[in-house]
C-alpha cells in the first residue's frame, strides 16, 4: 500500500464514520477558547469544562482578567495540571491581548505564539477552530495515532508530524482531520491499551499489523 492509498483510505473511513468532528472544549468566543486551550495542556477537556464556567463568569473578557492577579486566577484553576504556571500565563496573555491587540484574539500565527502560554499547538487550534485555517495542531493523541496508523514514519517531534500530515491531507480537510485523530486517540486508539477490536482502521494500521503477525 502506498502512502497516498493509506491516507485516502483513512480519510474515507473518517469521513464516513465521523462526519462531524469538533473540539470538545466548551466556549462561546475566541477569548474563551484561547483560555480553555491554554488550560488543557496536559489536562483533560472534561476537567477544563468543569472549571471554565465559573472562571469565565469571573473573567468574562480579557480586560477583566488583565486587571486581576495570578493568585486570583489560581483559585479558579487550582484543580488543573500546573495551575501556578497556567495562572501566570493566563494573566500575561490577557494583559498582552489587551495592550497589544485591543482585547481581540489575533488571527496571525506569529502574533498568537508571542502571547504567554501559547505554543505552536495552541496557536494552530485557534487558527483552525476560530478562523477556519488549514492548521494542524499536533497534541499527544495526533502524534500517537498518526504514527500507529502509518500516516507518519518515525516523526521525532510534533513539528515533523504536522508537516507530514499537512503535506498529505487535502487542505479543506486539515481542520477536521485534526479532530478526527484527537477523538480517535481519546476514545479508541488509547495510549496504553488501544481498542483495536472496535477500530475500523485495522486493515491499514501499521501498529495492528505488527502486533498481529
Per the annotation, the verdict on 213 as an active-site residue is no
Measured CA distances, 165 to 33, 59, 60, 116, 126 (Å): 24, 36, 36, 27, 18
DSSP 130: T
Label residues 155-181 b or e (16+ Cβ within 10 Å = b).
beebeebbebbbebbeeeebbbbbbbb
CB-hemisphere CA count at 13 Å for 104? 6
Q: For the chain, give the longest Cα–Cα distance.
A: 60
CA distances from 183 to 10, 30, 116, 149 (A): 14, 21, 27, 14
Contact indicator for 27, 48 with CB cutoff of 8 Å: no
Tell me the C-alpha distance between 168 and 84, whole Å: 39
Residue owning grid cell 506569529: 110
Could you give the 3-state DSSP secondary structure of residue 196? helix
Which one of the listed residues 45, 121, 132, 195 is annotated catalytic? 121
Q: Which residue among the candidates 132, 139, 156, 195 is catalytic per the annotation?
A: 139
Query: Is 139 labeled as catalytic in the residue annotation?
Result: yes
* Positions marked active-site: 121, 139
Amino acid at each position: 500500500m502506498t502512502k497516498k492509498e493509506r491516507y485516502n483510505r483513512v480519510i474515507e473511513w473518517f469521513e464516513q464514520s465521523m462526519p462531524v468532528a469538533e473540539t470538545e472544549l466548551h466556549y462561546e468566543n475566541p477569548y474563551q477558547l484561547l483560555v480553555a486551550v491554554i488550560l488543557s495542556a496536559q489536562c483533560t477537556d472534561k476537567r477544563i469544562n468543569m472549571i471554565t464556567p465559573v472562571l469565565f463568569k469571573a473573567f468574562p473578557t480579557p480586560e477583566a482578567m488583565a486587571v486581576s492577579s495570578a493568585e486570583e486566577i489560581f483559585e479558579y484553576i487550582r484543580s488543573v495540571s500546573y495551575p501556578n504556571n497556567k495562572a501566570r500565563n493566563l494573566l500575561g496573555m490577557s494583559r498582552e491581548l489587551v495592550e497589544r491587540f485591543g482585547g481581540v484574539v489575533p488571527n496571525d500565527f506569529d502574533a498568537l505564539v508571542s502571547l504567554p502560554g501559547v505554543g505552536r499547538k495552541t496557536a494552530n487550534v485557534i487558527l483552525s477552530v476560530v478562523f477556519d485555517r488549514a492548521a494542524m495542531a499536533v497534541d499527544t493523541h495526533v502524534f500517537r495515532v498518526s504514527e500507529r496508523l502509518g500516516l507518519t514514519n518515525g516523526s521525532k517531534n510534533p513539528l515533523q508530524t504536522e508537516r507530514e500530515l499537512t503535506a498529505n491531507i487535502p487542505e479543506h480537510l486539515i481542520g477536521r482531520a485534526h479532530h478526527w485523530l484527537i477523538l480517535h486517540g481519546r476514545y479508541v486508539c488509547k495510549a496504553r491499551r488501544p481498542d483495536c477490536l472496535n477500530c475500523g482502521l485495522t486493515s491499514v494500521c501499521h501498529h495492528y499489523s505488527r502486533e498481529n503477525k
